[in-house]
Structures are given as structure tokens and as C-alpha cells.
Amino acid sequence: MIARITIDGIEYHTDLSSGRSIAIPVNFSGPQPNSYDVPPARARAYEVGSFVGDTRSGGSCNFDTVTITPHCNGTHTECVGHIAIDRISIDDILVPAMIPATLLSVGVEDAIHSNDHYEPAMDIGDRLITAAALRTALANAADAKVHPTAFHQAFVLRTLPNDGSKTVRNYMAQPAPYFSIEAMQLLRDLDVTHLLVDIPSLDRAFDQGRMAAHHIFWDVEAGSHDVPRASASRRSVTEMIYVPDDIPDGRYLIDIQIAPFAADAAPSRPVLYAVTQTSSSI
């Protein structure tokens, strides 16, 4: 199904039958990615009295009880409620839409070699997504004429090196890179509304609870959890995606599909749709 869409006066077309999910499916009976060593996501047949929700055990249907920690067990999308006292829901924040997006492959840097900063101070062995790395990725995309600024509404970042182990990685055993203060400030300066990353958090796993990158992205004062519901940021963060290498950098439409949870975060299934420009102006 071919759809035509006009963005900033330029017409594009996309094939709605060829979307690519960049979510990591939750495999309840196999390996899963994990952060903070939380219990794995589980699905167990419900049992009560003589009823068993498993056709393999003689039940009339399959009827599971699912236990999951969305922030740690796989692809999830979160809102400013993640750091707020008020219980702000991603289901209220994220409006269903096909969002212009830019996919960028971004190299990471050893913290000891970087001029960027983080709060608290970086440790030896830390790896950073820096402002310079983001600028380099954007410059490369600009050279290929793939990212009009209209496609900055969402950034999908694929960190390098990239391999399939991200779909099952234990991030306590293999700590992830995180965003420097300067990198996150750059994303705010670019007015990115939806940020999708293949790491478990924008911040370092153990950062004394400061969550500096999250606070910058959502315009919440450092150390504060006071987020008035009426003026809460509409920006979203999607973490623990996986973008295979055969999906090239460039411009896309993205559909960030979430489970309708009234919570700060929900399991999600972002889908990328390639776009082709069909005219220079309308």
C-alpha cells in the first residue's frame, strides 16, 4: 500500500506494507536483554481449580499471566513521568502518528579521551555518545542529502559497533555507553521530540540517581522531580531498540506503537517506513 505524505511542502511516498520493526521481541521462554539484573520477563499459564490455561496441559485455550519490568526487559517507550512525582502516563503523552525520523549510526568514545562531560564525573572504562559523534553522523547524512530538518522530529540512533548480541545482552555484565551532557544539550537544541536508542538508558547505570541526560531532555531542573502535569513535556524516549545493519541511515517515517499502559513507560514496537521524495515542492 503506497501512501503519499507532504512534509514542509515536499511530497514523499512510502510503502505501508514494508515497515520494519526495530523492537526486540520479548522471548518469555528464551534469552532476553536485561538491565539492573531484574528478573526476566515471564509468561505462565494461569491455573485456578480445575482450569489450566495451557492447551498442552489439557486446557481449552492458552491463558497466560505475564510479569515484566518494562524499563529493563526489552524495548520500551517512556515519558517524563519516569522522573516525576506526579504519575504521568506515556499513554497520555504519546499521540499516535507517523513521525518524520532520521536514522543515524553513531560511534562511541572512551570517556578518558573525550572533552565532553557528565554528572557525576566519568569513570575509567566508561563509553560516551558525544556531541561530536552526533555532529559527525549528521554531517555524513547531510552529505548524502538524507535529512531535511523536518526529519529531526525523531532521531533513531544506532550505536557502533552494532551486532545482534544487543537483543540478548546483560548490561550489568557489559555496561552500555551513555550520553554526555553536551550530546544531550545538542539534541535539545535540535528540538528532537522523540529519541530512540539501542541502549538501556540515556544515562550511566549507576550515576548517584542524578539521571542528568533524562533531566536535560525533558527540561526538568537537575535534582528536581517537580513536573506539573499540565505543562509536562510531550517528548518521548524509546530505549533498547535494535536496528539491523541492513537498514541504512537516512530519513524515515516512524510509528511508535506502545502497549496502552497507564504508566510512565510501556513495552513498545517502533516501526520504520522508508520514504522517497517525489517532488521538490507542493
Look at residues 199, 221, 197, 226 and name the one whose alpha carbon lies nearest to residue 211.
221
Pairing outcome for strands 20-21 and 265-277: antiparallel
Single-letter code of the amino acid located at 120: P
The Cα-based distances of 73 to 65, 168, 233 in angstroms read 16, 10, 25
**The 127-129 sheet, strands edge to edge:** 109-110, 127-129, 178-179
Pairing outcome for strands 194-197 and 154-160: parallel
Per-residue pLDDT of the chain (282 residues; tens, 9 = 90+): 899 999 988 999 999 999 999 999 999 999 999 999 999 999 999 999 999 999 999 999 999 999 999 999 999 999 999 999 999 999 999 999 999 999 999 999 999 999 999 999 999 999 999 999 999 999 988 655 555 789 999 999 999 999 999 999 999 999 999 999 999 999 999 999 999 999 999 999 999 999 999 999 999 999 999 999 999 999 999 999 999 999 999 999 999 999 999 999 999 999 999 999 986 654
Q: What is the pLDDT of residue 279?
A: 67
Domain ranges of the chain: 2-26+71-277
Contact (Cβ atoms closer than 8 angstroms) between residue 240 and residue 199: yes
Look at residues 149, 166, 217, 189 and name the one whose alpha carbon lies nearest to residue 35.
166
Count CB atoms within 10 A of the CB of residue 49. Answer: 5
- Torsion-angle region of 37 (φ positive above 0: left; ψ -120 to 50: alpha; else: beta): left
How far is 184 from 170, CA to CA, in rounded Å?
25
Contact (Cβ atoms closer than 8 angstroms) between residue 72 and residue 34: yes
Total count of residues recorded for the chain: 282
Q: What is the pLDDT of residue 280?
A: 61
Look at residues 101, 95, 91, 96 and name the one whose alpha carbon lies nearest to residue 20.
101
The CATH number of the domain covering residues in 2-26+71-277: 3.50.30.50
How far is 215 from 180, CA to CA, in rounded Å?
12
Cis bond upstream, residue 161 (ω within 30): yes
Residues 243-256 have pLDDT tens digits of 999 999 999 999 99
Q: What is the pLDDT of residue 282?
A: 45
How far is 158 from 247, CA to CA, in rounded Å?
10
Beta bridge partners, 102, equal 155, 251
The 3-state DSSP composition of the chain as helix, strand, coil percent (nearest 5) reads: 20, 30, 50
Query: Global pTM?
Result: 0.96
Contact (Cβ atoms closer than 8 angstroms) between residue 35 and residue 205: yes
Q: In angstroms, how far apart are the furthest CA atoms of the chain?
A: 66
